Homo-oligomer: A and B are copies of this chain.
Amino acid sequence: MKIIVVSHGSFAKGLLESAQMIIGKQENVVAFGLYPTDSTHTLRNLLEEEMKNSEDKEEFLFLTDLFHGSPFNVVVSLMKDYPIYHITGINLPLFIEIMNKRTLLKGEELCAEIMKSAKDSISDVKNYLKEVM
């Protein structure tokens, strides 16, 4: 499964860089950033091209930064034309889980797994330490 991360600015590239520092270089994953001078139309074309240049019959999981942001809206517009998966609000623990599980699971199962992990991927550490100590 190919992973395409899309965000405002450098969040997507930072996410990918930081993940690769932890789990090593990953194949079949790309990051796109939308900057203030970029048009959403150009971004849509770039994402479409990225899919067209990928292997036949490959599944695509798009990860975006923010519900209702412009990158999110561009990916939603692609969902009308392509059978792609899309998780928004991505963070580093879930991204790493996706990288680790994407060869084992099909898109629908992978998204379901990730949503099961979503809540626990974010912790209030002060409260956590109170509970365990």
Listed in ascending order, the chain A residues whose CB lies under 8 Å from chain B are: 7-15, 17-18, 21-22, 33, 35-36, 64-67, 69, 72, 75-76, 79, 85-94, 96, 111-112, 114-115, 118-119, 121-127, 129
Contact = CB atoms under 8 A, between A and B. Distances in A.
A121 to B, nearest CB: 4
Contact of A66 (B9, B10, B22): B22
A22 B34 CA distance: 11
Given A10-B10, A76-B129, A129-B79, A91 B122 contact: yes
In the complex, the count of this chain's copies comes to: 2
Given A66-B92, A122-B91, A22 B8 contact: yes
Contacts of A72: 125
B14 A87 contact: no
